[in-house]
Amino acid sequence: MNKKDSLNRRNGFQLKLWLFHYILGLSVAVVTTFGQSKTYAPKNGILNFKAIILGGAFRVSTAIPLHGDFSKFNRLEIVHLQSLIGSDTPPELLKQLTDSLRAEFERGGRFAEVKVVNSFQKPEPVATTREDGVSSEAFREADPLETPMHDGRDMQAFDEQRRLAALHEEHHGERAGVLSIVGEVIDYAKGNRLLQLLPVDLWNSLLTVRFSYYDMETGEELGRQVVSSDNSSKVVPGAFSPRNALTGIREGLVDQITRRKVAAER
pLDDT higher than threshold 80 for residue 185: yes
Going along the chain from its start, the domains and CATH numbers come out as: 49-122+176-265 (3.40.50.10610), 125-141+150-174 (no CATH)
pLDDT higher than threshold 60 for residue 170: no
Phi and psi at 252, nearest 5°, equal -65, -45
In whole angstroms, give the CA distance from residue 240 to residue 236: 7
As a whole number, mean pLDDT of residues 202-231 equals: 90
Q: Which residue from 188, 198, 206, 187 is spatially nearest to 239, judged by alpha carbons?
A: 198
The pLDDT tens digits for 112-156 are: 999 999 998 887 655 545 454 444 555 455 555 555 655 567 667
pTM exceeding the 0.75 threshold for the entire prediction:
no
The pLDDT tens digits for 67-120 are: 999 999 999 999 999 999 999 899 999 999 999 999 999 999 999 999 999 998
